[in-house]
Amino acid sequence: MTSAVSFARVSRHFGSVRAVDVVDLDIAPGEFFAMLGPSGSGKTTCLRLIAGFEQPTSGSISIFGERAEGVPPYRRNVNTVFQDYALFPHLNVLDNVAYGLMVKGVGKPERQKAAEEALSLVRLPGYGARRPSQLSGGQRQRVALARALVNQPKVLLLDEPLGALDLKLRENMQEELKSLQKALGITFVFVTHDQGEALSMADRVAVFNDGKIMQIGTPEDIYQRPKTRFVADFVGSSNVLPPDFVQRYSGQHRWGSLRPESIRIGRAAKGDGVAARLVSTNYLGATTRLALDVDGLRLHAIMPAGAALPKAGEAVVLTFNRDHLHLMDEPA
Amino acid sequence: MRSDGSPSAPLGLKIAAACGLLFLHLPIFLIFIYAFTTEERSFVWPPPGLTTQWFAVTWNRPDVWQSLSLSVRVAAISTLVALVLGTLCAAAVSRTRFFGRETISLLVILPIALPGIITGIALRSAFSLAEIPFSFWTIVLGHATFCVVVVYNNAVARFRRTSGSMIEASMDLGADGFQTFRHVVLPNIATALLAGGMLAFALSFDEVIVTTFTAGQQQTLPIWMLEELIRPRQRPVTNVVAMVVVLVTLLPILVAYYLTRDGDQIAGSGK
């Protein structure tokens, strides 16, 4: 089966900056694919390479089997939902949505009907006559989505589309985007710096750092089995354990990771475990985050709300299921 | 210090403000009144009598029509040149980053900061060096130097306020460069261009200094008026023409002012 999007050793350099550095990537048709990474990690440049706003310095990109280098954005069957939505302020909502069809020469009644349908799809029926300036942030986001989807793209690119929305709205839109993607069967490529968003929505996640892909995998893979210290730390703030520490519990001299929620805390007197000192507690509502000190190594643990907690400064014993200690590929 | 908290300004300040405004605008009314005077050799206050005969006299003077038509043509062509060059330059400076961008921006604005007399002398010596005979086109060239600045300034401000991703969005939706310009760029900068163009037209229409250095035997309207003041015959004709010039230049500037004011609201709401 041909990939929806395929990168073969793609690099994009800006002067001496390697924004994208030898990236290989295959996105399957119909997949919900997330590109996750801190700002400046190259994820947005990758998205712009697919859209055609950037050209690779080296390597090749194909979209559904067709070579994409040198093909301008307007000849690609790919549409983008921009971070700032980029709605046209001089057009009303209906004309905004119908824009893609208008420039392709679709007749007025036909394109307006298609635009109305697209607006219904994003649950904004009857908003056609309004100006973008009269809409809320969430509504503008839906218009941007409708404007892209009306062209029936083979791949939909989303550049941090939920970044400007408040928390509640963002959670709703996450569910909505996911069900929309399932219903339409279009390949979605989604850029975000929010690991929770990537894990909850995507079928597969690529974690970017310094222009390189650190790891590609399902959300479970990325979360449970990080390959490098960077992935462990960036996705879900896992405890990164140095080789000497790991050797004591697994017998192998390798870097390891341990999820904060895998750690149990007990009173110092009771049973065996790792002797530690509780440095501080951080109340987060549903959970409490503990900072622990183990011979100079700082670890974090998460306790459910209501659990009896020792006081800061007290000596404690921490235990964990050794199966939860994940060994990473990172060289020791 | 005022304990009553009244927002009203003191009387002295009000009078001073009124005097300032009168000082600015009274001379213009005097020019209008002298257009109706019966005395044709010198301006006497109060006018010995009032007449409208000078409007008919002006209407029948071929030299007025010649210079008026020259001024209108020069202003129109200079504005057109400025619209094209100013917009292109503004687009380049605000849309892309390249070496020497700030320098180009400064060089474009320089002609309006330079005294007109410098621009005039520089152009005159350049024309004679290149052995270009003075003509309609040398005047247009001289005027275009400052008209470009006006259009550029307006366009660059608008480009800065329009979201850069809008052009990318248009391309992304399947519009090529020309379609994007027509359907997205032009509608968004249209009012700024109109305002800049009108200002440029008005500037060119009453320009004297650069014109004296770049015109040959031809007289634009302001130059004609200057010459006319020296001649003692049919003086009020100058005042009639002055009235027309005030109207012709004031109206576009007013329209430009209102257009850019509305433009702020349009552009500001687009984000």
What is the ipTM for the molecules in this complex? Answer: 0.82
Whether residues B188 and A72 touch (CB distance < 8 A) is answered with: no
Answer yes or no: is pLDDT of B124 > 60. yes
CA dihedral B96, B97, B99, B100 (to 10 degrees): 70
pLDDT digits (tens, 9 = 90+) for A84-127: 899 999 999 999 999 999 999 999 999 999 999 999 988 889 89
pLDDT of residue A134: 92
CA distance B255 to chain A (A): 20
> From the list B172, B176, B271, which residue is nearest A79 (CB)?
B172
**CATH code at A5-233:** 3.40.50.300
Q: How many CB pairs under 8 A join A and B?
A: 75
CA distance A104 to chain B (A): 7
Share of chain B above pLDDT 90, in %: 24
d(CA A8, CA A49): 12
pLDDT digits (tens, 9 = 90+) for A198-238: 998 999 999 999 999 999 999 998 988 899 889 988 887 78
A226 CB-contact burial (10 Å; exposed 0-12 / middle 13-18 / buried 19+): buried
d(CA A11, CA B212): 59
CA distance B183 to chain A (A): 9
Residue A202 tokens, joined: 């995507």
Amino acid found at B151: V
Closest residue, chain B, to A99 (C-alpha): B173
> In the structure, what pLDDT confidence band is assigned to residue B54 with cuts at 50, 70 and 90?
confident
pLDDT of residue A274: 82
pLDDT of residue B258: 79
> In the structure, what pLDDT confidence band is assigned to residue B271 with cuts at 50, 70 and 90?
very low
Most confident stretch, A104-118, B106-120, B153-167, B193-207: A104-118
Residue A278 tokens, joined: 């509780």
Architecture of domain A237-327: Beta Barrel (2.40)
Q: How many CB atoms lie within 10 A of CB B251?
A: 12
CA dihedral A247, A250, A254, A256 (to 10 degrees): -110
Closest residue, chain B, to A79 (C-alpha): B172
Answer yes or no: is pLDDT of B164 > 80. no
> From the list B165, B176, B179, which residue is nearest A86 (CB)?
B165
Closest residue, chain A, to B173 (C-alpha): A100
pLDDT of residue B265: 42
Answer yes or no: is pLDDT of B263 > 80. no
Domain extents in chain B: 56-269
> In the structure, what pLDDT confidence band is assigned to residue B205 with cuts at 50, 70 and 90?
confident
List chain A residues with pLDDT less than 70: 268-272, 332
Answer yes or no: is pLDDT of B261 > 70. no
Cβ pair A23, A212 in contact under 8 A:
yes
Closest residue, chain B, to A87 (C-alpha): B166
Whether residues B171 and A100 touch (CB distance < 8 A) is answered with: no
Whether residues B174 and A103 touch (CB distance < 8 A) is answered with: yes
Share of chain B above pLDDT 70, in %: 92
> In the structure, what pLDDT confidence band is assigned to residue B6 with cuts at 50, 70 and 90?
low
Answer yes or no: is pLDDT of B1 > 70. no
d(CA A50, CA A319): 47
Mutate to test the interface with B, among A49, A78, A88, A154 (most CBs of B within 10 A): A88
Mutate to test the interface with A, among B173, B182, B183, B184 (most CBs of A within 10 A): B173
Show which residues on chain A lie within 8 Å of chain B, measured between beta carbons. Answer: 51-53, 72-74, 78-80, 82-84, 86-90, 99-100, 102-104, 131-133, 147-148, 151
Pick the CATH number of B56-269 from 3.50.50.60, 1.10.3720.10, 2.60.40.1180, 3.40.50.1980: 1.10.3720.10
Judged by CB atoms within 8 Å, which residues 182-211 of B form the interface with A? Answer: 183-184, 187-188
> In the structure, what pLDDT confidence band is assigned to residue B264 with cuts at 50, 70 and 90?
very low
> From the list A86, A90, A103, which residue is nearest B175 (CB)?
A103
Closest residue, chain A, to B187 (C-alpha): A90
pLDDT of residue A268: 65
CA distance A114 to chain B (A): 15
Whether residues B171 and A73 touch (CB distance < 8 A) is answered with: yes
Amino acid found at B210: V
What residue spans in chain A does CATH classification 2.40.50.140 cover?
Answer: 237-327
Cβ pair B146, B203 in contact under 8 A:
yes
Strands A78-81 and A155-159: parallel
Q: Which residues pair with A213 in a beta bridge?
A: A208
Whether residues A88 and B166 touch (CB distance < 8 A) is answered with: yes
| A42 Cβ contact list (under 8 Å, min separation 6) | A12, A19, A20, A21, A23, A208, A210, A211, A212
What residue spans in chain A does CATH classification 3.40.50.300 cover?
Answer: 5-233
Closest residue, chain A, to B182 (C-alpha): A103
Closest residue, chain B, to A80 (C-alpha): B172
> Can you give the pTM of this predicted structure?
0.78
Answer yes or no: is pLDDT of B117 > 70. yes
Mutate to test the interface with B, among A99, A104, A160 (most CBs of B within 10 A): A99
| B226 Cβ contact list (under 8 Å, min separation 6) | B208
